[in-house]
């Protein structure tokens, strides 16, 4: 590549060429990308996230490659939470002119690597100048077959609450990073701390958890992005129900207890409000989909009763309830 | 709405609610939006643009409503340039916390109004904090029927070069704004100046120009976003041809001559390098699609001959050739 050129020195064509080299796609390079359906009842599903440097990610803690991986994981989690299969990514970059071209390449490489297990690819984008480094990631997925998408509003009383993947690991990883002050300061031999930091910086989701849940007849789904209580509250609100979590099913495991010892943080805070794991969480009145575990039950809720929370733990208000608020 | 609340005062939920009120869509509000195909051989087409305040638009010259209209027009032009029909928009906003909530509402209202003639809608998005106001717009469209998409690479020797819509009007409008220093200073009675400024601030494209061109058998297409010479050079490069513009067909009209008198700018600069009209330009070896006019011919080009430009005017190198460069 071009050594230590900045994006301003490289210019638009060379910057786009570096991205296309790191994340090649034959669909990229025209006015817009054409996505071919792969199923007979194909519907497309789309979502977008905006990530601002030093607010949603930090190069103090993460490499550009990891930022690319995480950006894909969080958007693909939204696609999966509809029961769909991610197929394509669009990447918008607003960047200071003095950003090293290598940072942009590494970011694209992370996106490419995280998309590959899905057979998905980076099909288009835009690069412009700005003060902050701002990434805009759009993910597109495909929903095939006769079944409806998995929405927030499908939970019914008596359904089981289910999850696939860790809960609270990303937030624990962030607190470990804050505790040590840098990635390098974390003891290399502390494999648990390293694993949690990995979950924070570059979570890699197992593929097809959304399609598997939809095929198994799940009734609602979202991902743990803003915090378990907050995200499940969305399902409860839309479905007009209460979600009661089983305390023993979400009790901090030995990995989180280890992180709690290091940081002095109550691990229940990570579990209940951490978010950013992008673990799929939802409900079902059918069989448990593969890799999912039961973590609670859907209960009835009196409409208009504002004294009962939407999410309880063993029937009572959770110890922590706040979650990520993007404009505060 | 909420008077003069800032987005930080309003918070995430109220800001999203204001956007959804200004641009209502039943597809919006879940983890991702589901887009249903409307044709039997449906392929989806997607594109994204990032717009930075005071770089790609300015509230000195444009209202937030107009910024929304223009953002849709420029992205829908890319969808149309594939021969597709725009169906959906995703909007990412990174904003300073002290931005008035009304600005965000007006922006969404502009997006909604510009999308409506297409039957398209704002189906999702994200709102976060940042230093600059940065908008990321993703447009999705649908390509139906058996024909291929209109790409950059389909121009053949002997095809006619065609255009639908004005060329150079947006750049002339910008120079008029710069000349007068503000929107208010432009004489109200100067209808021509007002029209050109409108083309710069909120271009409104006639609907279905892309599908009409594809139905009529056009061979290649793009839109005039970075400048006529630059955009046609992309078609010429990808197609391995030279595009020869007919000087008389692109000669500045009385509208541009009026603007040239006011500003002292050579109107050929607007025509050849202005861009941002988002007029559809392309080639055809079939009949002229409705609303299109011929503006030149596709000629042969010796491969590897770097002395001959990709685009000529009456056989010679154009007087102006530069165009918009997003990282300089």
pLDDT digit string, tens, across residues B168-177: 999 999 999 9
Among B10, B39, B44, B95, pick the best mutation site for testing chain A contact (most A Cβ within 10 A): B44
What pLDDT is recorded for position B2? 43
Q: Does B8 touch chain A (CB under 8 A)?
A: yes
Whether residue A167 is found in the same domain as residue A137? no
Whether residue A186 is found in the same domain as residue A289? yes
Checking if the pLDDT of B1 tops 50, the result is: no
The overall average pLDDT reported for chain B is 95
Whether residue B30 is found in the same domain as residue B103? yes
Q: How many CB atoms lie within 10 A of CB B199?
A: 25
More confident residue, A200 or A3: A200
pLDDT digit string, tens, across residues B247-282: 999 999 999 999 999 999 999 999 999 999 999 999
Q: How far is A124 from chain B (nearest CA, A)?
A: 6
Helix (H, G, I), strand (E, B) or coil at A317: coil
Cβ contacts of B50 on chain A, cutoff 8 Å: 92-94, 126-128, 134, 136
- In the listed set B90, B116, B143, which residue is the last one of a domain according to the structure? B143
CB-based contact B137:B48 (threshold 8 Å): yes
Whether residue A83 is found in the same domain as residue A228? no
Distance from the Cα of residue A89 to its chain's centroid: 14
B61-to-A207, B58, B172, B174 alpha-carbon distances in Å: 47, 6, 14, 9
Which residues, in sequence order, are CB contacts of A59 under 8 Å at separation 6+?
A53, A67, A103
Q: How confident is the model at residue B230 (pLDDT cuts 50, 70, 90)?
A: very high
Most confident range (mean pLDDT) of A151-155, B40-44, B323-327 is A151-155
Whether residue A247 is found in the same domain as residue A284? yes
Checking if the pLDDT of A1 tops 50, the result is: no
Q: Does residue A68 lie within any of the structural domains?
A: yes
Between chain A and chain B, how many beta carbons pairs sit less than 8 Å apart?
232
Tell how strand B85-95 and strand B121-129 pair up: parallel
Which residues, in sequence order, are CB contacts of B214 under 8 Å at separation 6+?
B83, B84, B147, B149, B150, B221
Q: What is the DSSP letter of A267?
A: H
Q: Does residue A3 lie within any of the structural domains?
A: no
What pLDDT is recorded for position A2? 43
Please judge whether A46 and B33 are an interchain contact, meaning their C-beta atoms are less than 8 angstroms apart. Answer: yes
Whether residue A236 is found in the same domain as residue A281? yes
Q: Does A12 touch chain B (CB under 8 A)?
A: yes
Whether residue A295 is found in the same domain as residue A253? yes
**Pick from B48, B82, B234: nearest CA to A122:** B48
- In the listed set A90, A110, A143, which residue is the last one of a domain according to the structure? A143
Whether residue B127 is found in the same domain as residue B191? no
Helix (H, G, I), strand (E, B) or coil at B319: coil
Whether residue A188 is found in the same domain as residue A303? yes
The overall average pLDDT reported for chain A is 95
**Pick from B77, B211, A50: nearest CA to B69:** B77
What pLDDT is recorded for position B260? 98
pLDDT digit string, tens, across residues A62-88: 999 999 999 999 999 999 999 999 999
Whether residue A200 is found in the same domain as residue A82? no
Count of structural domains within chain A? 2
Please judge whether B31 and A55 are an interchain contact, meaning their C-beta atoms are less than 8 angstroms apart. Answer: no
What pLDDT is recorded for position B3? 56
Placement of tokens 């930090």 in the chain = A58
**Pick from B29, B20, B128: nearest CA to A234:** B29
Q: How confident is the model at residue B59 (pLDDT cuts 50, 70, 90)?
A: very high
What pLDDT is recorded for position B199? 97
CB-based contact B294:B249 (threshold 8 Å): yes
Whether residue B292 is found in the same domain as residue B222? yes
What pLDDT is recorded for position B305? 78
- In the listed set A93, A113, A143, which residue is the last one of a domain according to the structure? A143
* DSSP calls for B192-259: HHHHHHHHHHS--PPTTHHHHHHHTTEEEEEESSS-HHHHHHHHHHHHTEEEEE-HHHHS--HHHHHH
User: Residues 96-115, chain B: which have Cβ within 8 Å of A?
Assistant: 97
Q: Does A47 touch chain B (CB under 8 A)?
A: yes
* Structural domain range at position B282: 160-313
pLDDT digit string, tens, across residues B286-308: 999 999 999 999 999 887 777 88
Check whether A31 is labelled as a binding-site residue: yes
Name the residue facing A82 among B32, B129, B221 (closest C-beta): B32
Q: Does residue B328 lie within any of the structural domains?
A: no
Can you give the CATH number for the domain in which A130 is found? 3.30.1330.10
Whether residue B106 is found in the same domain as residue B169? no
């Amino acid at each position: 590549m071009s050594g230590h050129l900045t994006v301003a020195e490289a210019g638009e064509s060379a910057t786009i060429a570096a991205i296309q080299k790191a994340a090649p796609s034959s669909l990229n390079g025209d006015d817009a990308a054409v996505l071919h359906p792969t199923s007979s009842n194909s519907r497309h599903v789309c979502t977008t996230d905006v990530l601002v440097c030093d607010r949603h990610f930090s190069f103090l803690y993460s490499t550009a490659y990891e930022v690319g991986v995480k950006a894909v994981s969080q958007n693909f989690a939204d696609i999966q939470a509809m029961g769909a299969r991610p197929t394509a990514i669009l990447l918008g970059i607003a960047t200071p002119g003095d950003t090293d071209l290598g940072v942009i390449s590494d970011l694209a490489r992370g996106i490419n690597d995280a998309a590959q297990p899905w057979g998905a690819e980076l099909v288009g984008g835009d690069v412009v100048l700005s003060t902050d480094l701002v990434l805009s990631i759009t993910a597109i997925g495909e929903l095939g077959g006769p079944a409806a998408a998995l929405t927030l509003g499908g939970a019914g009383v008596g359904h089981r609450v289910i999850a696939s993947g860790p809960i609270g690991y990303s937030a624990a990883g962030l607190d470990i990073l804050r505790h040590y002050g840098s990635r390098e300061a974390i003891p290399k031999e502390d494999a648990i701390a390293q694993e949690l930091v990995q979950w924070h910086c570059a979570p890699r989701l197992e593929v097809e958890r959304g399609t598997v849940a939809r095929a198994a007849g799940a009734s609602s789904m979202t991902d743990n992005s803003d915090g378990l209580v907050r995200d499940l509250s969305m399902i409860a609100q839309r479905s007009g129900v209460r979600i009661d979590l089983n305390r023993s099913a979400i009790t901090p495991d030995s990995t989180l207890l280890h992180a709690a010892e290091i940081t002095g943080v109550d691990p229940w805070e990570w579990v209940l409000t951490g978010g950013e794991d992008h673990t799929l969480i939802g409900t079902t009145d059918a069989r448990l989909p593969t890799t999912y575990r039961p973590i609670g039950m859907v209960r009835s809720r009196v409409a208009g009763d504002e004294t009962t929370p939407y999410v309880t733990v063993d029937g009572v208000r959770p110890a922590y309830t706040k979650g990520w608020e993007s404009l505060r």
